Structure 1
Amino acid sequence: MEEPMTSSAFNTEITETAEALIGPWRQPRQMLHAQVYDAHASIHDDATAQKLGFKGGTIEGPTHFSQFAPLGARLWGQAWFESGCLSAHYRNACFEGEDVQAILSKPLPGTSQCQIQMVKRDGTEVLRGTASVGEAQVATALETRLTELKPLTDPVILRDVKVAHTSKRQQVRMAFDQNMGDLYPFSLRQKLAVITENSPYYSSAANPWRKAIIPMEMLSVLFQYRSKDDPLPAKGPAVGLFADQEIRLMKGPLFVDEEYEVEREVVALSGSRRTESAWVKTRVFDAAGAMVATMLLNMATLKDSYAPYEEEHQRLHGAAR
């Protein structure tokens, strides 16, 4: 039987220059208005976001990963779906109705890593980072970033969280019509109805693996799906946002309605003027026990969103911050 061509994965219009592949302008949809975590609304809820100085509910970072998928597929073909990696530092929030564009710089000769960037029409940078396939020859954007972090000093919200803290293994799966819970109050089918770059690979077996595959942005949902069942010992309620995220496929793709196991490990803690951050590495295993993917996520918690922050900082550390 003739194998389907990977080029049929997307019909996205891509502009190619000498230096880059550039995707079309898109308006990602916000699907997390009803998200609940820590028994309260999240940064994706308009009222909560506005209280914290944002103009409205933000679009979740990994939503933007979909716009890079056609660029990765154009450059690397089938390898993109099997060993692709996106490593991104989120720089500015994006809101529903805004146009954004994905740009992938072509790799330097002899390497399989590219710089990536997403911009708004006014030039505002939404994210920057790296895309790559296969065994890493050079550090990804976030591997480099991990070596440059400002340490977390005088922690309040994360005072009980320790590096190397590891969760129990959890079983996860994603079926087409499965609601993904409080964190992700929608299904894969609902996401595919509005995803910026759809593909027949996502909804049918018309692909080289003969099974529907999970889009990279939805891998974030799958890997986080049961995180509330074994949460980090952080203080709350408080509002967090994704500040950095890397998803790496090792033996991909991952398939719809297939059972996987995930475990999470805190690999770093960092801080800034406004946030306390836990960097968590999720490792994902298939039914045979092989590691098929990893995710590195920096969940940055906003200090101002934790009501007793000042009072507890004074009590714990003896001085105003």
Structure 2
Amino acid sequence: MTEAAFRTEILESGNLLVGPWRSPRQMLHAQVYDSHASIHDDATAQKLGFQGGTIEGPTHFSQFAPLCERIWGQAWFETGCLSAHYRNPAFEGEEVQANIEKPKPGQTTCAIGMTRRDGTEILRGTASVGDVTETALSRRLGELKPLADPVILADLKVGMKTPRQTVKMDFDQHMGDLYPFSLAEKLKVITEPSAYYSQEINPWGRAIIPFEMLSVLFQYRAREDRLPVRGPAVGLFADQEIRLLRGPLFVGESYATEREVVALSGSRRTESVWMRTTVFAADDTPVATMLLNMASIKDSYANYQQEHQALYG
């Protein structure tokens, strides 16, 4: 006997499926990053011009899960992909709403969006299932302008790879300085609860890791990569794509992660490294990938101007 995956109320609005308004919880107040507080800490965020500690982007992925499951059913948990460009931060106490376009028959990629009550766009992108070649971020990668005059990322090169690391996520496991909470704590406040996340009563007979927590699992040991990034600097997720190849991933199961620098880009305020994480099961089969654009804020790096002068005159 399998329970329904979600009890989320979903409405139809024109050509969209729309989820409920939700107020995601901010669980990263105590996050430590390069031995300093992060963009999710109120004081650090305010120094950089934000109104407070931002809600971490992948937290929003949970609100898309019921919409995608409504469209694609079990396939969503096995080969689902969310590919998102984060447009504006959301803050604790604000309500946000997820939407997805209704697919035409056989369509495997749909546009997604999320907005705040005041109409501010939080993210946009695509959701898909199966072996899809084009996603929102694959398009963005193809349009990137190369990074000019890097400082924070001056020593990084496209193609750099990290050694494999073993990761797993138990219910009560503290996920380290980057993620100072456990899966059990997250499940108490997750915007879209599901029996699939905590029990064996699902098609796979084991508790599965929610989409938003895959980001935590894949980044769990990322600080051990020792990539030559200059710092400390405050970073934020600007783009993120999580794709299941042979999902779902299970609570308590060991996986291996391997990362590669696939692109470098920048803006007036940031320098960005695009990392692709590949996740392997015990039998060495790739089971998931994550593409993450980690944008470092230039103004948060104390030596930025003098090092730029030294590098480029």
- TM bracket, shorter-chain basis: over 0.9
8 A contact 1:150–1:272 mirrored in 2: no
**Pairing partner for 2:164 from 157, 169, 174:** 169
Percent identity over paired residues? 71
TM-score, structure 2 as length reference:
0.99
**Pairing partner for 1:307 from 302, 305, 309:** 302
Q: Would you say how many aligned residue pairs link Structure 1 and Structure 2?
A: 313
Pairs within 5 Å for 1:287-306: 287-306=282-301
User: Aligned partners of 1:32 and 1:232: how far apart in 2?
Assistant: 23
User: Aligned partners of 1:18 and 1:128: how far apart in 2?
Assistant: 18
The one-letter amino acid of 2:80's match is G
Name the counterpart of 1:283: 278
Question: Aligned pair 1:41/2:37, yes or no?
Answer: yes
Name the counterpart of 1:151: 146
Name the counterpart of 2:120: 124
User: Aligned partners of 1:307 and 1:15: how far apart in 2?
Assistant: 48
Name the counterpart of 1:4: 2
User: Aligned partners of 1:152 and 1:18: how far apart in 2?
Assistant: 41
**Pairing partner for 1:21 from 3, 10, 17:** 17
The one-letter amino acid of 1:167's match is T
User: Aligned partners of 1:310 and 1:238: how far apart in 2?
Assistant: 13
User: Aligned partners of 1:248 and 1:299: how far apart in 2?
Assistant: 17
For residues 169-199 of structure 1, the C-alpha deviation after alignment (integer angstroms, 9 at most, x for no partner) is: 0000000000000000000000000000010
8 A contact 1:161–1:232 mirrored in 2: yes
User: Aligned partners of 1:231 and 1:218: how far apart in 2?
Assistant: 23
Partner of 2:173, secondary structure, is coil
Question: Aligned pair 1:58/2:48, yes or no?
Answer: no
Q: CA deviation at 1:109?
A: 4.0
Q: CA deviation at 1:230?
A: 1.5
Partner of 1:101, secondary structure, is strand
For residues 117-172 of structure 1, the C-alpha deviation after alignment (integer angstroms, 9 at most, x for no partner) is: 00001110000000000011x51000000011121010000000110100000000
Q: CA deviation at 1:300?
A: 0.2
User: Aligned partners of 1:13 and 1:261: how far apart in 2?
Assistant: 36
**Pairing partner for 1:207 from 185, 202, 206:** 202
User: Aligned partners of 2:32 and 2:196: how far apart in 1?
Assistant: 30
8 A contact 1:108–1:114 mirrored in 2: no
The one-letter amino acid of 2:123's match is L
RMSD: 0.9
The one-letter amino acid of 2:251's match is V
Q: CA deviation at 1:18?
A: 4.2
For residues 174-232 of structure 1, the C-alpha deviation after alignment (integer angstroms, 9 at most, x for no partner) is: 00000000000000000000000010000000100000000000000000000111232
Could you list the runs of 5+ residues in structure 2 that have no partner in the other structure? none
The one-letter amino acid of 1:208's match is P
Pairs within 5 Å for 1:163-312: 163-312=158-307
Could you list the runs of 5+ residues in structure 1 that have no partner in the other structure? none
